[in-house]
Chains A and B, each alone.
Chain A
Amino acid sequence: MYTDKVMDHFENPRNVGELEGADGVGTVGNAKCGDIMKMYIKVADDKITDIKFKTFGCGAAIATSSIATELVKGKSVKEAQELTNKAVAEALGGLPPAKMHCSNLAADALKKAIDNYLGLETKNECEDHHHHEHNDFDHGCSI
């Protein structure tokens, strides 16, 4: 179900942890929807000099957090702001359709960390992603 790239980032996640004295911190998701991502950034000369993450979530959530940190480390704040969820998924060689919810969080968490660095207010939690209608009749169950 997952690409080798996803599995690689799941097994060997890059930049896991917290950043002491971070310039920006962003958290998205909540335990209710099954994924929480927290990103920490350090900024110097308008560049993301360091970035770390902590994630509660599935394989896709962990892998997207990991690759997102790799994609923006060393980039300018503006470039980092332009990172899209789509670009994150593409960098992993694609994700299963059912995993879009989880994978949409990484770029959002980063944006919040940047907003926090810039001193902007942002709304919280995962309203953006929450509870798309699902049909009782069509999700399968193997247990």
Chain B
Amino acid sequence: MTKVYMDNGATTPVDPKVIEAMQPYFSEVYGNPSSFHSFGREGRNAITEARDKVVELIGADYTKELIFTSGGTEADNYAIKGVASALEAKGKHIITSAVEHHAVLHTCKYLEKRRGFEVTYLPVDEDGLVNPEDVKDAIREDTILITIMMANNEVGTIQPIAQIGEIAKEAGVTFHTDAVQAVGTIPVDVNELNVDLLSLSGHKFNGPKGVGALYIRKGTRINKFMHGGAQERNRRATTENVPAIVGLGKAAEIAMEGLEQKQEKLVSLRDKLISGIEERIDHIKLNGHREKRLPGNVNVSIKYIEGESILMKLDLAGIAASSGSACTSGSLDPSHVLLSMGLTHEVAHGSLRLTLGKYNTKAEVDRVLEVLPKVVADLRSMSPIYNG
């Protein structure tokens, strides 16, 4: 059976050129980058080179503004907890949105429950968009941080980050964006976006898992996250994961060279998939903004059936996708993102996310368009809430 991977929002395959770049750094160039000798120096140089590439990808001005982390989750935790602890004497109010990734939401909840912070969770409209005016209105005397994601991982909606950044800048409030789903897929420029902090993750753009970075604009007040050695300009202790960092650097280089092409390809596959689904299946709803949307994201609610059973049927046909249904998350509630967008529980339970990556093909989209309508018809025929 030919398999089709359409879960690139969860993670992507590592580009063979990335693997090739990483290879020497396991057992040939294995020195500790903090060591004085030539072995260490080579590791150090490799990190410098990787940092330059990632810095270039996000348009940062200085290489020292980028700190490598263990991934997007750590970058989010570092940004939010680091700013919270640096500025808590000034104020204890944070503004975020209801549709953030759990890496941001649960960090905010932690600060709220255990550290006495107050958090405003801004609502979104039916397309998942945050209104910049709402951000402006939520800013208080004691607001120390605004954290709004650049692109949503579930529904693909792209937020007006530059506008929000301007508002934050005017108000003098530190602004963080979780750009994990954006970096390497759409253009990201920290200066155009007016952000002080930005999280990114390697495995979302054909780099390795377990490595990411936090961009910290020069002058931003933030406390360190990992205490120990003096690595990463004394901001993140632990011996650097050199192969992973090299891999992230290579992925950044490849992403930058091919960004336009990749975007074009993904948009064309995405739109073919969306219109194909809309033509072939009735009673569906596209979730997320139709235009302000990640190039590779398709998210539809298929009414009268449930997400996990759709995923299981697709999986049996070799197609990998994901869902915001409760039964895929281990809780009884479906995706907080879909509920925040005003979907009923019933419609949220029937959501299906197909996320395209740079290796997907037209033939694979056709295969999904051939299999999915059958899966839907099959499940609807057993549904007690579907009446033909």
| Interface positions of A (Cβ within 8 A of B) | 10-11, 13, 16, 27, 31-38, 53-62, 98-99, 101-102, 130-132, 134, 136-137, 139-143
Contact = CB atoms under 8 A, between A and B. Distances in A.
B330 interface: yes
Contacts of A140: 330
B309 A57 contact: yes
B271 interface: no
B322 A132 contact: no
Chief secondary structure at chain B's binding surface = loop
Contacts of A102: 327
A48 B382 CA distance: 21
Interface residues of B, number: 40
A31 B385 contact: yes
Interface stretch (B20-28, B123-131, B227-235, B344-352): B344-352
Interface string B350-388: 000100000000000000000000000000011111100
Given A31-B346, A58-B327, A36 B384 contact: yes
B331 interface: yes
Contact of B153 (A37, A38, A130, A143): A143
Contact of B304 (A16, A27, A56, A137): A56
Given A34-B327, A141-B329, A58 B309 contact: yes
Nearest to B325: A34
A38 B384 CA distance: 7
A59 B312 contact: yes
Contacts of B102: 141
Contacts of A143: 9-10, 153-154, 322, 324, 353
26 contacts: A11-B316, A31-B346, A31-B349, A32-B345, A33-B326, A33-B332, A34-B326, A35-B306, A35-B327, A36-B384, A53-B382, A54-B384, A56-B304, A56-B305, A58-B306, A58-B307, A59-B308, A59-B312, A61-B306, A61-B327, A99-B327, A130-B332, A134-B332, A137-B109, A137-B110, A141-B101
